[in-house]
Amino acid sequence: MANQVVLRSVPQSLSAKFVGSFAYLTVKDRLPTILTKVIDTIHRNKDKFFEEHGEEGVQAEKRAISLLSKLRNELQTDKPVLALTDNVVDTDMWNQYLQRQQALMDDNEPPSWFKSPWLYVECYMYRKIQESLHLNPPICDFDVFKEAKTKSFFESQQPIMAICTYLQELNKNMDDLSETQLLEHFLKLLQVSLWGNKCDLSISAGQDNSQKASPVDSLEDLKPFILVDDSNLVWSVLTNGKIPGGSSKLQGRVDIVLDNAGFELVTDLIFADFLVSSGLASKVCFHGKSMPWFVSDTTKEDFHWTIRQTLAANHKWMSKSGAQWQCYLKDGTWSYYDHSFWTLPHEFCDMAADAPDLYATLQKSDLIFFKGDLNYRKLTSDRDWGHTEPFEKALRGFQPASLCSLRTLKANVQVGLQPGQGENLTAQEPTWMTSGKYAVVQFSSPHREQ
């Protein structure tokens, strides 16, 4: 009974079937453009495939491109979504999900690009890119987005140096900090990690004056754009409910569900370093993607590459930071995990049933940070919620531990706002939900008293 009430009160999924919506424009314009770029990247790497695998590599390149061109055509002409055929570890999960989507369709129509939920078809596109490579074994490990991720890291060297310098200076003085100063630094580094998710991948790169290129210097100006700021509740968890002045630190386990590689990943590593070196946490578990995903998302390879690059940098504080991070990984203070659930199309409220092992892992955490927009869409099931609906309600029972979303808004779902806040923003700036200009620090806890 209760379940039926809950089911009926869930708003509909965002979908390209709503002509003119952001989902519609994404499926119509942005996804085919991404596919075109992927095809182009594979083609440009033809010589590399030849060098590595001879003629077989070239044939694999041709076949992959032909599958991807077919995919783009199916997408653009709203053809049915097809079952996967690559027989790898998550193939069955995807195909079962397709059946679930089939059951949701009216009049037994097949799920399709413009009729099914946006979250589903967008995830499916990235999984199909992977399928086109899986079906062509010589090139199945090729990361079609690697170049873009690498470029974003190298283009953000200025702010990366600045933030590593900030971290190392802070670490030198950590023992002398008062609780109030510690809170100040915590807020700053949390916000650096938050704005690291901004769509241009860097906060201050590109400014002429490199002296000013410290992400920390921009934070004050960005504050008005944080629409929900639950940082005090996050701090409260990390200090066992003590307000500044007390001296109780959680020293527990913090999990970070990562989003993008490049500048954002560095900001996450900096934040994680601070959590450990300040004693607020004793252990940080990072969660990344097990395949190239949504162009810039972090894979295991990206994670380790970034730390190696930071260590190898010709900059004292960057290099010191990278060395410290290697040590944290070696001594188990930090650990990296991936799980196929993160690259499935499921809403996170399905995790307990569909990936109970991952849910159980997260339950061991004291605090979980979810980085970025896609994680927010999955936390809230990517549905058409009213802006004043409570975050807890949109989570629909997903509550493995205290959690905090650090997200800049790039898709039109946003809950937990004050009455009138969303309406005012819409009146002033119709694209406020998709421009990446606004952000939220949104917290929820199973132990929350209010």
Q: In the complex, which residues of this chain contact Mn ion (CB under 5 A)?
A: 259-260, 294, 297
Bridge partner list, 289:
299
Please identify, among the stretches 36-44, 134-142, 373-381, 424-432, the one whose residues bind ligand F6P according to the rule CB under 6 A: 373-381
Q: At what angle do helices 31-44 and 55-76 cross, to 10 degrees?
A: 170
Please name which of 213, 189, 67 lies closest in space to residue 140, comparing C-alpha atoms.
67
Closest among 397, 279, 283, 267 to 335, alpha carbons compared:
283
Measured CA to CA, the distance from residue 193 to residue 256 in angstroms comes to 11
Whole-angstrom Cα distance, residue 219 to residue 171?
20
Backbone angles phi, psi at 14, to 5 degrees: -65, 145
Binding segment (CB under 6 A) for ligand F6P, from list 97-105, 131-139, 300-308, 371-379: 371-379
As measured in angstroms, the least distance from the Cβ of 211 to ligand F6P is 29
Task: Please give the Cα distance from 344 to 92 (Å, whole number).
Answer: 11
The reply on whether position 411 binds ligand F6P by CB under 6 A is: yes
- Contacts with ligand F6P in 168-197 (CB under 6 A)? 197
Nearest to 238 by CA among 182, 195, 188: 182
Please, what is the minimum distance in Å from the beta carbon of residue 71 to Mn ion? 21
Judged by beta carbon, residue 71 or residue 237, the one nearer ligand F6P is 71
**Contact yes or no for 61/49 (Cβ under 8 A):** yes
* Pair 316, 172: CB distance under 8 Å: no
Q: Which is nearer to ligand F6P, 114 or 235 (CB)?
A: 114
Q: Is 406 in the site for ligand F6P (CB under 6 A)?
A: no
CB 410 → ligand F6P: shortest distance, Å? 4
Type of residue at 277: S
Q: Closer CB to ligand F6P, residue 372 or residue 422?
A: 372
Rule CB under 6 A: say whether 416 interacts with ligand F6P. no
Interaction of residue 373 with ligand F6P, rule CB under 6 A: yes
Among Mn ion, ligand F6P, none, what does residue 158 contact (CB within 5–8 Å per kind)?
A: none
Q: With respect to ligand F6P, which residue has the nearer C-beta, 387 or 410?
A: 410
CB of 40 to ligand F6P, least distance (A): 19
CB of 260 to Mn ion, least distance (A): 5
* Residue selected from 163, 205, 374, 409 as contacting ligand F6P according to rule CB under 6 A: 374
C-beta of 142 vs 294, nearer to Mn ion: 294
Strand-strand pairing, 226-229 and 439-444: parallel
For residue 136, is it left (φ>0), alpha (ψ between -120 and 50) or beta? beta
Q: What is the DSSP letter of 30?
A: I
Binding site for ligand F6P (CB under 6 A): 122, 197, 259-260, 294, 372-374, 377, 410-411
